[in-house]
Structure 1
Amino acid sequence: MNKQLTMKRRSFLTTTCATASVLAVSSARGKKAKPLMKNGKPMNIVVMMVDEWRYDQFGYRGERMIKTPNIDKLAESGNSFDNTYCVSPICTPSRGSLWTGQYTMKHGCNFVTMDKHMPPDQWSYIDTLKKSGYVIGLSGKNHIFNDEFMDKYFDFREEYTHFGKNHGTMTKADQAVYDYRHDEKRPEFKSDTPDQGSVLFEGLIEGPLPFKKEECMTHRIAEDGIRFLRDHADDDKPFMLHYSFPDPHWPNVVPEPYYSMYDPSKIEFEGMDIDWATHPAAHYIQSTANGFGDYTMAERQRIAATMYGQMTFIDDSVGLFMDELKRLGLDENTIVVFTADHGNFGGHYGMIGKTKAFYDSLVRIPLIVQFPGIENGREFSANIENVDIMPTVMEYLGAPAQKGIHGKSFLEILRQGHGTHRNEIFAEIGLNQAPPPVMPLKELDAYAKMRKAKDGNSWFLDYTVKGRSSMLIKDDWKYCHYVGDREELYNLKDDPLELRNHAALGGHETKLAEMRAALLDKILKASMEPDAWSA
């Protein structure tokens, strides 16, 4: 750790007494409510987030190869929810839903570019916490709030993108890592995608990241997060820290010892017998554009092994942070949430990454929560959407329920030890723009080569970004509707890998009609909810 992290520690009890009389919560109208206290103590909040991590690739979920001992320990000392879903399988929309408790159709942050990031005059739970006296911090990835929002609300901003540190205290190593990740040497991956330019892109990148692990982003995020803890351990105010990792999202690069930690030849992929001709065309286009159509099995395994190394690197940084939280005596009055913005194919169908799709590997996410004073060490099968997370945190703190949101607290599930919570799960993705005509699979390879030569690597965005799409899960069935593309119907109990699309194969017309009607009903009801910031 850097010497700058060293700081004197004062009594936690002194802080508790000093804070008890001043902390209050504001509603969206700005009125004062009762203090955010629990058992006479102010409660800190840590929201840990990883980017693009499949829900089942953790030791506590039965994963045998990928080493995640610190996250497993977090699950053992907290409560894990096995059926948690993001409400959009793309970074910015999902993060917007976490912080507002609203579906994308309401908060409007529906794509990853800066013009779709949240402005300072839009309500979020950050606003409520700030008005309640919280010190707000970020160590890691943002990808939801614009610069004006960050200037208004965040007291601590050590920010990283997938391509390096871009705000805060920069070291020479930070700049070197940034420069390396902004130098895409593979000519076929040069990109004109907005906000990316010539950064490292998807696909196979041979060799380890040529830096010491202590110089790389995942470790530096831990250093910045620990510095925040030490700086505010004895403050008169509680804090909310967003501790957020850009990995294991692409580019899949990692330093030693993580690059060599996993033997690629021992990695096996499920779902390799998928028939893409019976699935929406957009699902395979992004991976084809980024080389997966041409990669050998050994090359795919190498990408996966690198991603596994990224995961264990993150796990180590989670351990460093949690050890310091405990050493400072903050674990007894800090809520800890661990989740992901969305999933990752993670090797399913021989692919790494994501696309405009609702496979469980992309929309089902990890969720671990630790609430001081609530029984821990349990696994729950309740159906949770990530819009439910912050309403649960706020109810635990005693804050009044926020009106005009889609999320609903699952605190009662934690208290009772059981429950379903939701009978349906909803998700959505896509811009309100017409997608191009469906490309037949047999013509895709030739078309992809032509488009890449003409328009560069990011031509696939026409297919994977444009066009609204929605999903509903109900009673073990999943239905997905795509504007301008093939619809999907899966029985998740019989077909967890979602290989057999009954909408294409036939035989379940009654169920298909039932799920179409249920999705339409869900969309119409959700669109009628009042805006949170005008509630």
Structure 2
Amino acid sequence: MFVMTDQLRADFTRGVGFGLDTMPFLDSIAAQGTRFRRAYTTAPACVPARTSLLTGRWPSTHRIRQNSNTSPEDVARGDDLLDVLRGAGYQLFYAGKTHMYRNKAEDYDAFSEYGHTMAPDTTTEQRAFTDWLKSIDMGPTSAPTPFPVELQYPYRIVSDAIQQIDARDPDKPFFSFVSTPEPHNPYQVPEPYFSLFDEDKIPNRLAGPEAAEAKGGAYKWLRDLVEEKRPGYDKLWRRYRATYCGMLRLIDDQLRRLVGHLKEQGLWENTLLIFLADHGDYAADYGLQRKGAGMPEALAHIPMIVHGCGVETQDNKKDFVSIADILPTVCEAIGRPIPLGVQGRSLWQMLTGADYPAAEFADIVTERGYGGLPYPDDARPPLHFPYEGTRYDELNSVTQSGSSRMIRHDHYKLYEHVSGPGELYDLEKDPMELHNRFDDPSLRDVKAELMQRLQRWSVRLTDDLPQGKYNARLAQHNWYRTSKAHGA
């Protein structure tokens, strides 16, 4: 079973040190399974990341770099997650937000689709709630949502998932994909969640709008755009964060409800649960909302928790893993071969306490950009749609212009861009990435090592598809570094 959230930060639960207890049930599951503290998305945008989840490939290889590309014909891939599970005899259930190329009822045995302001509404109350969601223009709101919890999409999605599971063929295994549009904007939540986290007790952010000004480029461009559309919006940053935290608790309560039903039906003991997000949210860091500029930790770092079916209890703080690693991990968990063209690495040995080469997971990369050259800071190019009223698109032609790739290793982070200077940050000293040390002589050796590691990843992400007449020698578990590097 997958439980996926949209735009959930990795650092906003008490289990990883956040000052508020936003998701106690999720933390309890993590305490009984494996939590990956260093999990990253392949791209801080929904469709590219979700396509990586399905294909085990990075955006530069599966070719989906924009949220507007959700057609199966656009995707470069071999067998994907659904192909593997279908081939293994699994029933396939989907409830929630898709925002990826596997978005049709014929892809599944049972299918219920939701969006951020779209749902399979059948009652007057449901239609009224969806109309209200559209009216708040992606939020955040300053008052509680005037509709009950039962109309919220996470509640309804879990209800649909439960119905799908209960109607299954008990003689066949099943895969359930439960995907909440929240805590993505529109930022809204009803009582008791709206008042659950007092604005005055919201932990302070590390940096506000001055950080966007200092970083410049797309950060400042996006900050100026939102200020133009919604003057003074950042004055309400504590309310925005409090609502975001309330949304997390609402999701957590629905996860508790879903797991509780599995337990009642005697299914929990044989369920492998993978919880993750596609990317994060600024949550007021840099004086920004949503996502858009750059690949800071707030966006690129994601939660990833695995529980059940032989998964050991461990708090993994050292291995760098990716959303692209999920497909090969599932393949080995169910005893199926990893399809040709998959670039992610199996985590199954790591999850079950078997031996694995630490060097294979010593670094990870994330990608960003629609291609071409970056637009200048004063650009006014055609954008994704007309920006009427307070409406704006954070993933636009400016913020996503050009191409970038970043690598994480140890406590460092290095960026290379299609044009312009690179970036290098020591995240222990500079978690907000405000002091670029790319040209710092004292980090010359660190930069050289990171650039070498990034080059190795660039070679690794060369596409193996389509396969011609000759067969490639495949790496066991998709680990490309040999056992000689074991423990490095």
Look up the SS of the partner of 2:181 in the other structure: strand
- Residues 356 and 429 in structure 1, CA contact (< 8 A), matched pair in contact too: no
Q: Which residue identity does 1:305 align to in structure 2?
A: A
Q: How does 1:229-268 map to 2 (within 5 A)?
A: 229-232=165-168, 235-267=170-202, 268=204
Structure 1: gaps spanning 5 or more residues: 1-45, 185-199
Q: Where do 1:408-427 residues align within 5 Å?
A: 408-416=345-353, 420=358, 421-427=360-366
Q: Do the aligned partners of residues 489 and 179 (structure 1) sit closer, same or farther apart at CA in structure 2, a change above 3 Å counting?
A: same
Q: Per-residue CA shift, 1:498-517, capped at 9, x if unaligned? A: 23221377764554455445
Residues 209 and 325 (structure 1), Cα distance of their counterparts in 2 relative to 1, 3 Å cut? same
Match of 2:28 in 1: 73
2:61 maps to which residue?
106
Q: CA deviation at 1:439?
A: 3.9
Q: CA deviation at 1:469?
A: 1.5
Runs of 4+ with >6 A deviation: 118-121, 451-456, 532-535
Counterpart code for 1:216: Q
Residue ranges of structure 2 left out of the alignment (5+ in a row): 472-488
Letter in 1 for 2:158: A
The residue aligned with 1:175 is 127
Shift of 1:178: 1.9
User: Which SS does the other structure have where 2:320 is aligned?
Assistant: strand
Q: Match of 1:173, SS? A: helix
| Identical-residue share of aligned pairs (%) | 28
Q: How many residue pairs get matched? A: 461
Match of 2:117 among 163, 169, 173: 163
Aligned to 2:312: 375
Q: Contact 2:213 / 2:219 at 8 angstroms: preserved in 1?
A: no
TM-score, length-scaled by structure 1 = 0.78
Question: Is the Cα–Cα contact under 8 Å of residues 295 and 368 in structure 2 kept in the other structure?
Answer: no
Q: 1:289 maps to which residue?
A: 225
Q: Secondary structure at the match of 1:339?
A: strand
Q: Report the Cα distance in structure 2 between the residues aligned to 1:140 and 1:396, rounded to whole angstroms.
A: 24
Choose the corresponding residue for 2:284, options 328, 347, 357. 347
1:218 counterpart residue number: 154
Cα separation, 2, equivalents of 1:332 and 1:459: 42
Are 1:141 and 1:245, in contact at CA under 8 Å, matched by a contact in 2?
yes
Distance of aligned partners of 1:209 and 1:456 in 2 relative to their CA distance in 1, 3 Å threshold: closer
Going from structure 1 to structure 2, the CA distance change for 1:334 and 1:151 (only over 3 Å counts) comes to same
Checking the alignment, whether the CA contact within 8 Å between 1:57 and 1:63 is kept in structure 2 is yes
Are the counterparts in 2 of residues 108 and 116 from structure 1 also a CA contact under 8 Å? no
**1:92-171 alignment, distance < 5 Å:** 92-115=47-70, 123-145=79-101, 147=103, 150-165=104-119, 167=120, 170-171=122-123
CA RMSD across the alignment: 3.1
Contact 2:38 2:318 in 1 (8 A): yes
Distance 1:507 1:280, change over 3 A: farther
SS at structure 1 position matched to 2:99: coil
Alignment-mate amino acid for residue 436 of structure 1:
Y
Of the three residues 461, 480, 487, the one matched with 1:526 is 461
Shift of 1:270: 1.3
Instruction: Specify whether residues 207 and 504 from structure 1 end up closer, same or farther in structure 2 by C-alpha distance, changes over 3 A only.
Output: farther
Would the alpha carbon gap of residues 429 and 531 (structure 1) be closer, same or farther in structure 2, given more than 3 Å must change?
farther
Secondary structure of 2:350 counterpart: helix
Give the Å deviation of 1:335: 0.9
**Structure 1 residues 418 and 296, CA gap change in structure 2 (3 angstroms):** farther
Residue 484 of structure 2 corresponds to none
CA offsets 1:290-325 (integer angstroms, 9 cap, x no match) = 239843664111111111111111001000000001
**Alignment of 1:477 onto 2:447:** no
Residues 134-158 of structure 1: CA distance to partner in whole angstroms, max 9, x if unpaired? 11111111011255xx243211111
Shift of 1:456: 6.7
Query: Shift of the alpha carbon at 1:252?
Result: 0.6
- Map residues 500-519 of structure 1 onto 2, 5 A cutoff: 500-503=435-438, 508=443, 511-512=446-447, 514-519=449-454
Work out whether residues 82 and 366 of structure 1, in 8 Å CA contact, stay in contact via their aligned partners in 2.
Answer: yes
Instruction: Write the letter of the residue equivalent to 1:206.
Output: S
Q: Distance in 1 between matches of 2:310 and 2:251?
A: 27
Matches of 2:257 and 2:389, distance apart in 1 = 47
**8 Å Cα contact 1:164/1:177 also seen in 2:** no
Q: Say whether residues 1:208 and 2:144 are aligned partners.
A: yes
Q: CA deviation at 1:423?
A: 2.1
